[in-house]
Homo-oligomer: A and B are copies of this chain.
Amino acid sequence: MAASASASCRSPLVWFFSLAAALFFASWYLLLDSAAAPAVLDARRQDLRSVSPATKCDPDKALLRVYMYDLPLEFHFGLLDWKPGTGDGGGLWPDLLRHGVPEYPGGLNLQHSIEYWLTLDLLASEQGAPTPCNAVRVRDPARADVVFVPFFSSLSVNRHSKVVPPARTSEDHALQRRLIEFLAAQPEWRRSGGRDHVVLAHHPNGMFDARYKLWPCVFVLCDFGRYPHSVANIDKDVIAPYLHMVDNFFNDSAGYNDRPTLLYFQGAIYRKDGGFIRQELYYLLKDEKDVHFSFGSVAGNGIEQSTRGMRASKFCLNIAGDTPSSNRLFDSIVSHCVPIIISDEIELPFEDVLDYSKFCIIVRGADAVKKGFLINLIKGISQEEWTRMWNKLKEVERHFEYQYPSQHDDAVQMIWKTIARKVPSIRLKINRLRRFSRFEANKTNETPARS
């Protein structure tokens, strides 16, 4: 206060030079400091030259203006055991330029980590960290196209789904309840009934209770397997890829003749839901020449085995297991092993801009279990046609990449763009809701019921 009072006595010229000097030193400080930031995620960093320079994004030029709730720490980075350092203003969000990014737990946790990458990109848009600036955080809800709910629900399932006595419900359940209470109290929720809210629930069991309260929102999901149509559907919601578990196959020159295995599958044969086709296919294919069935999960040593196996195969089999989707499809894509998807109704990410028939072979379940059908189909695909699909896989794989900093048209940006394409239908729903907002005899305020 005292400093600002004395500053107000200075002449405009002095002010101008002070400001210029301050900006000059601040920019150098940021530059040096960001270079020294821990490169937590270097493995997923690619060519940074294509990313916008580290200036704050201009909301007026954004494809999507996003208002993000300042949810308490326990809903997001607190779940990573992250604690704010000095200079992390407010103590709620990491300062990406000064301190780098908090680390997300590894292993299979990562496959549903979209919550982390989307939140980081949104923070970057405001902090002047690198981002393509498609989605930009705004502080005024009235300027926003959508409202982002930064609850790391997948991590909450993975870490806190067990009931620990004396508690009678899991911490994941308790967090969901507190989230519903939080949202019910927000004017933004009350205004739209949640229709413009983006809620992340990529883990099939994420938001297990809350989904039935938050249904008007835009969910970002891996599939609709465990959702009734009224709660989630392709018109309203967004399907996002899994983060792949095998490594990228950079500079892949392993073409048709360098891949000795015709068809590769790794996974459990017996699954609790919907996996009966796996068994049937196993018995149909196990004695075929150049077909490789390998059992066990991709976790642990399985990753190396899968990486080698997929890179040595022309085609990789994807069959519905516990859930309609799995990270196996995205492992196949980054291994440039042409996916054979056995499914009648699978949801595929970004299918409004991607024609999967150009790089996948999709076969109905009923066809796949016909004797000879699948193997004849695969053998009927010429080297020329396979090579076209292989090249297409190398072209599209970037759309399935999660990374920080996010790059043009990677998975993070593809998700933002998909949400942006939903904005007109979100606006339509909200405008219809507003029709009666003032002139109704019995006003019903649609808020998530507290459980």
Contact = CB atoms under 8 A, between A and B. Distances in A.
A233 to B, nearest CB: 10
Contacts of A367: 439-441
A427 B355 CA distance: 9
Interface bin, chain A? 20 to 34
Contacts of A363: 436, 439-440
Interface stretch (A3-11, A38-46, A346-354): A346-354
What is the total number of copies of this protein in its complex? 2
Given A367-B440, A370-B441, A352 B435 contact: no
Given A235-B235, A431-B351, A361 B424 contact: no
Nearest to A425: B352
B377 A439 contact: yes
Contact of A431 (B354, B370, B373, B424): B354
A421 interface: yes
A362 B235 contact: no
Given A367-B441, A441-B370, A424 B353 contact: yes
A308 interface: no
Given A357-B437, A364-B440, 17 more contacts: A352-B427, A354-B431, A355-B434, A356-B431, A357-B434, A357-B435, A357-B438, A361-B439, A362-B435, A362-B439, A364-B436, A364-B441, A366-B441, A367-B440, A367-B441, A373-B441, A421-B424
B436 A362 contact: yes
25 contacts: A235-B235, A351-B432, A352-B427, A352-B428, A353-B427, A355-B431, A355-B434, A356-B431, A357-B434, A357-B437, A357-B438, A361-B439, A362-B435, A362-B436, A363-B436, A363-B439, A363-B440, A364-B436, A364-B441, A367-B439, A367-B441, A370-B441, A373-B441, A377-B439, A421-B424
